[in-house]
Structure 1
Amino acid sequence: MTGFLAAFGGRLAERWVALLAVPGLLYTATVAAALTCGWWRVDLVGAVGRHLDARLADAAVAPSLRTAASVAALLAGVLLLAAGAGLLARAVAVPVELACCGAWPRWAAPLARRLTERRGRRWGRADARVREESAPGPVHGELVAARNAIALMAPAHPTWTGDRLAAAETRVWHEYGLDLASCWPRLWLVVPDTVQEAVRTARDSFSSSLLTASWALLYLLPGLFWWPAALAAAVLALTARHRTRASAGALADLVEAVVDVHAPDLAAALKVDTPHHRVTPDIGRVITERLRKGV
């Protein structure tokens, strides 16, 4: 048990440093630089130092110890601010994920509808070109790739990520008759540990890209007063966009692959016969109906 707690504590410390401490320290330093060098020109370090010195004098701390105590208090304050910034970024990542997945609030519904229709028109034109060039060959492959770059299926969300994740659910339903939302928790129980670990890694990569996007939003605040922070926000936003698309595509592909390979194992676990060890749409609909339990 002691070894387990030590290992768990080590991993927890590593995740805290990677996800909260280091990015939070950079953000705290950027905010301090924006206040010091930006439009407001606030002597932040000097003001904090004078405030700490006054508080220590009120507490009757010896003058010889005030410098060390001020430095220790300043470091503690910086670490607390860095941890707070990291926690704020993780909180912001939740609405960022909803926005990336196309789950926009009601007040943004008109904009979401217009963006979805625009993406649908682009996809429709690309799909028409694919159908016109029906002969197999390099040209047909390029047209298919161009269409799929917009969406794998007719867009139903205002964002690429939302359509890519939703496409996995739709394709699984069309191919196997399985409702992915209903069957996934049960499927998770029958897949090997290596598969679970691969899915967790893909999900962590997607979450990490969303966290980068949330940091980009937070850097916009000091960017209003100091242009280097705005530049950092732009770089982070471009990086987050690329990483989010890549990680969302990888996650969706992996989820489909898990169903492709282990759907017969789910049927076997539920005692549903699968001729030729293959889940057909009819069999999948039987499994879906059982798992939904009439809901």
Structure 2
Amino acid sequence: MTVDDSSAKLSLAFAQQPNDVSLTRYSGRFAPSPTGPLHFGSLITAVASYCDARAQDGRWVVRIEDTDIPRISPGSEEHILRSIDAFQFEPDAEIIFQKDRLDIYEQVIEQLHAQDLVYACQCTRKMLGSNHIYQGTCRELKLPLIDQAIRIKIDDQTICFNDRLQGQHCSNLLHDLGDFVLKRRDGIINYQLAVVVDDFLQGMTHVVRGADLLDNTERQIWLGQKLNYPRLEYMHLPLAMNDQGQKLSKQNMAQALDLKQAPQLLQQALQALHQAPVDLDMPHIMLKQAIAQWSVDQIPHCMELPQIYQ
């Protein structure tokens, strides 16, 4: 496939999005990974992304980021979908699943390869050892792309962005990380590639997510630049912590949301975000009140929430 053919398919995919995407000043999303059921930290992100979009008369969509198919936890995708219903969020588009879009990501890799921006890498974790900065070992070897990891070439350039909560954040990816992987040797599409492509194809303008993903942002900005995608606005939320001082996560066995307690949990999530109180009611009524009172200035400007939530 030529780069023109690939670009044409991607342009067609973008054209098939809702007609108002290109006209919307604000388009946001909630994009959980189904490696476990949603927990309270996930709810904080969902609430913040939803209220921030709606407070600016913006669009809000849900995307299931499930390219890492072996790590999908049985029942997790169903729990995510039931959670969206239980908390009465109202997405503006059909929910998409990244595992259904693998051919699109492959087309983007072909596009980048045609521009000599990616290469095959045969290095294993054992070969790389403990060095987390890739030294470009395979960059000039011209290996075939089949059955190898695919890395993108990084230049000596400092990438900076101004996060709405965390302030200015900068990284020179060449010095801090090196050429990073877009597709693993086992064929799994890397998160960095899938999220950048889908944010573009879904017409996203703003990203609201947890501060644990802050260090991914320069990689995504870099990749977006190489694909000539518009730059997004970012807001990285402080993380909810457990009583052990660990972020709430599936890896740390965070408790799944009890969907029978949706109004109470929604109230707690807004409290965690330091928003004005809302009356306990049906979730959609609570969300309307929260949107009317939404203030980013009230969200703690830190990496971790000062109060522990379980």
TM range (shorter): under 0.3
Higher relative contact order (CA 8 A, sep 6+): 2
Per residue, is there more strand in 1 or in 2? 2
**What TM-score results when the alignment is normalised by the length of structure 1?**
0.23
Q: Quick check: which one's helix share is greater?
A: 1
- TM-score between the two structures when normalised by the length of structure 2: 0.22
